[in-house]
Structure 1
Amino acid sequence: MPIAPIRFLSRFAAFALATALVFGCAQSPTRTTAPVAAENAAVRDAVREAQQLAQSVATQTGAQRRDTEARIDRLVQQLDDASLQREAARLAEGDPLYDYVGRALLGRGLPLPRAFARAGWNFDDRPAADRDGYRPPVKLAVLLPLSGSLSAAAGSVRDGFLAGYYGESRRRPEVRFYDTAGTPNGALSAYDRAAGDGNDFIVGPLGRDEVSALFARGELPVATLALNRGTQATPRGQSSFSLSPEDEGVAAADYLLRRGAKQVLVIAADDDTQRRAVASLRERLSARGGEVVAVADDNAAELAPSIAGKQVDAVFLATKGSVARAVVARLQLAGLGDKPRVATSQLLSGTGKAAEDRVLDGIAFPSESWLTRGVHGLSGAEATGARLASARGAAGRLFAFGFDAWLLTAYLDQLGRKPDAAVEGATGVLRLDGFGNVQRTPAWSTFVDGDPAPLADASR
């Protein structure tokens, strides 16, 4: 059976119509008030400043460009949903601000008024797409660190990719794997070999340093889906897909904000991955009127001193589940046991014994759709893990990531053409923003009686 993960998010259209009706009925010329006028003026001022900044980005590089883009994102995130949708529809074709506003819409699960412009985006050499948008490459290269310190992780990604590849009964590209050895120079050499071999699409590399080295080249001769975010911006006509901790921090912030929680206590481990998640959470909260009121070490004996005199609406746990079990008891002692709690996917690490993990019940964390619900075209996580060590336990996340990398090679063209297109992947719902970055809306899970279980509103 063919894999058919593309869906067109018709509920977005219904949501947009309902929003228009609500706001249309709530406003009339005879009921305009000074506060409403002042609010509209503030929105226009924010959009005007963001437009000016977006115009200047094209001439900037390095830290200056990153700072300018961060300022644009903060201005855009200040807008409420209705204002964001309205301003997106008002932007003219070719306005560079549209990519930033559109990215914010995708992050909130809101519809785009039109597709993004795709400068340098061309898949015309591929055979025509099937009705569901399936349009894979003709000759495909996959760049992975099959040797070196990242080889185990690469093996899970490779096996997930091949599970998707062989699970497709329609036309498939010729595929070849290239070893990057996990180094920037190895990645550049592998890319050059793949380009010289006549591949019309390249997936990878995987390591962050590898991707940064490749993107630093700027223009690339072959269309590429990098499997990480680099420190450089994604070059024109290219794309990237990642399971980055930054994305989890943003997802957690949005999850809390949708529930009215703006004053957040963070309890975090002292490692780079968790620091990156906390930094992105803090930035997103700040941009949308919230704040991190305090950051406590996950090994702190007491939490009360960290929150003395502060309002706490919710708690963000950036730590492993094995440590979080003790943290939950400290939250109770600090009077925070009834506050909403959200965590990174690291909450699953060090768990697996329901009797011990019951203390984690009710904590929400981002998860992969495949691990909790199943995905069309892929056997269930438990059955697959029983057959393949590369899909078992923590490795299952990378296996799902590899499966989605295959789907993206086949549906990337459709994602770029249709404003309401999405892929129902193994790691979540996948969409493409105006910068070539795949935006992932994860599934959400929690613990119930000590076992991970999907949340009912995970798709929202």
Structure 2
Amino acid sequence: MTPKPHVSAASRQPIRAAGPWLAPALAILLLGGCGGLGVRPTSETTVVQNPAVAEAGALARNGVVLTGQARVDNERRIHQLLSQLDNDTLAREATAAAPGDPLYNYMGQALLERGLPLPRPFDHAAWTFDANSRPPAESDGYRPPVKLAMLLPLSGNLAIAASPVRDGFMAGYYGERRRRPEVTFYDTTGSIAGTLSAYDRAVAEGNDFVVGPLDRAAVDALFARGSTPVSLLALNSGSQSPPAGNASFALAPEDEGIAAAEYLLARGARRVLVVAGSDDSQRRAVDALRERLGERGATVTDVVGEGIADLGPFAAREGGVDAVFLAMRGGAARELTPKLALAGLGGVPRVATSQLLSGTGNAEEDRALDGIAFPTETWAVRGITGLPSATYAAGMLPTARGAAARLFAFGYDAWLLSAYMERLVKTADGSIQGATGTLQVDGFGNVKRIPAWATFISGVVMPLPGGADRR
């Protein structure tokens, strides 16, 4: 008999992880939706090594012992060096790297970001896939834990955000007909102390995989321990990569900035004008876009505020502007589009963050946004196997409506990752199609999400043909 999820009795606070309505509602939902040259010696000869690769390799080897900002700066320099390589050189150097070479995971990360295949799996270690006598994987790589702990802030300030994550996770859980793990929810109370205590209880109670926490500071606190007795999938990114044998999954603004940069680079954009709002997520997306463009030889010509009156002077810069990036909500973007046209920028590629959807829904008004590309969740624009349509789900569950729908999709993908993690980290072509996009895990335990791309056509959101999430 398949075990049912339950709530840890170890928590001092009552935890209402899933009310009595949740399992029936999810069941109905699922049924209804059915510098210098280095040398690389070989056994026969000495081959001249690319100088950027030689420097990056030295940094990667020395970086193993670095911590804090020194490690961050070291990794940034490695990424800058690898960005100088064209696709063929990068792929060739990655193929030639010896097993265990610290640079391989960096090169593999760069290959994934360019949509290129890995020559071999990443060098992963310390995962606890065989704990609790976990049964072998199915033919598609499905190998869920035996006992899974879910660490979420079920009380406190973050409880509202946790609810759609929890319900999305359980939608995936109830939708699976094969062997499923016993799931226990632990309330982190949204605090660092509560998170550390919840993780320790989960380990003591025999769980062989942990999903969570949700709060970034709590993720940092867990990762700061260095090593963990039970592997976990954190539901946020920390300030540094996860310790060996762990992973992190986040819907970070930086990811959208990087995705937008890659989208524009693939279309030949070299000079990008940015128009952005002032909130933290918008600034983070812009910073990530600027850094990625700079690494690949492109540039941000200017960053101007969303209330700008006249874009003409910025469009007239020497060298011109061949693309525009918008980090703003739908209402502000509607007001901006006539100004782009007046400045002669109405016909250049225009790319936005997913915030473009905020404040939209009236097709007549949203015609002003026609042609602007933006990253979004695959589930929202195309649907995925295993979940009903986003519209149907929104009618069934409050936690799948409006802005919460994105977190619902995120929770669903957390379930998929927990069930297919071994396949993702042990195979060179490991990827799964999730609700938020195509999911992969790089050599440092970071879940990489390739989003779907959409645009407005006659004021209605439509998927872009050949979206980046489908290769």
Q: TM-score, normalized by length of structure 2?
A: 0.87
1:86 corresponds to 2:92: yes
1:167 aligns with 2:161: no
Give the match's secondary structure for 1:312.
coil
Q: Identical aligned pairs, as a percentage?
A: 60
Secondary structure of 1:331's counterpart equals helix
**1:145 partner letter:** P
Work out the CA distance in 2 between the residues paired with 1:180 and 1:383.
31
The answer as to whether partners of 2:118 and 2:428 remain within 8 angstroms in 1 is yes
8 A Cα contact 2:128 2:208, kept in partner? no
Cα distance between partner residues in 2 of 1:299 and 1:55: 47
Partner AA of 2:260 in structure 1: A
Mapped to 2, the partners of 1:166 and 1:52 lie a distance apart of 48
2:296 counterpart residue number: 288
Indicate conservation of the 8 Å contact 2:271/2:323, yes or no: yes
How many angstroms apart in 2 are the aligned matches of 1:322 and 1:349? 8
Deviation (angstroms), 1:93: 1.0
Q: 1:443 aligns with which of 440, 444, 452?
A: 452
Q: How does 1:139-158 map to 2 (within 5 A)?
A: 139-158=147-166
Q: Does 1:44 align with 2:50?
A: yes
Instruction: Identify the residue that residue 60 of structure 1 maps to in structure 2.
Output: 66
Report the counterpart of residue 335 of structure 2 in structure 1.
326
The question of whether the paired residues in 2 share the 8 Å contact of 1:241 and 1:438 is answered with yes
Tell me, in whole angstroms, the C-alpha distance in 2 between the residues paired with 1:222 and 1:122: 6
The match for 2:267 is 259
CA displacement at 1:228 relative to structure 2: 0.7
Contact 1:294 1:307 in 2 (8 A): no
* TM-score relative to the length of structure 1: 0.89
Structure 2: any 5+ residue segments left out of the alignment? 1-46
Residue 250 of structure 1 contacts residue 280 of structure 1 at CA under 8 Å; is this kept in 2?
Answer: yes
**Number of residues of Structure 1 aligned to a counterpart in Structure 2:** 420
- Greater alpha carbon shift after TM alignment, 302-311 vs 394-403: 302-311
In structure 1, distance between residues paired with 2:280 and 2:325: 16
DSSP-derived class of the 1:233 partner: coil
Aligned to 2:380: 371
Structure with higher helix content: 1
Q: Judge conservation of contact 1:216–1:232 (CA < 8 Å) in 2.
A: no
Q: 1:327 offset after TM fit, Å?
A: 1.1
Q: Deviations over 1:202-244 (max 9, x none)?
A: 0000111121121111111211000110013211111111110
* Matching of residue 279 in structure 1 with residue 279 in structure 2: no
Whether contact under 8 Å (2:216, 2:238) holds in the other structure is yes
**Coordinate RMSD, CA, aligned:** 1.3
Distance 2:87 2:240 in 1: 30
Which residue, 308, 312, 320 being the options, matches 2:321? 312
AA aligned opposite 1:191: Y
In the alignment, structure 1 segments of 5+ residues that lack a partner are: 1-39
Question: Is the partner of 1:175 in helix, strand or coil?
Answer: strand
Looking at structure 1, the residues matched to 378 and 139 of structure 2 have their Cα atoms a distance apart, in angstroms, of 25
The CA deviation at 1:308 is 4.1
Aligned residue type for 1:344: T
Name the aligned partner's letter for residue 222 of structure 2: L
Hey, what does 2:8 align to over in structure 1? none
Selected match of 2:394 from 385, 397, 401: 385
Residue 138 of structure 2 corresponds to 130
Q: Does 1:405 align with 2:411?
A: no
Show the counterpart of 2:110: 104
Aligned residue in 2 for 1:298: 306
Distance in 2 between residues matched to 1:306 and 1:218, nearest whole Å = 48
Q: What is the rounded CA distance, in whole Å, between the counterparts of 2:219 and 2:130 in structure 1?
A: 26
Q: CA deviation at 1:122?
A: 3.3
What displacement does 1:309 show?
Answer: 2.1
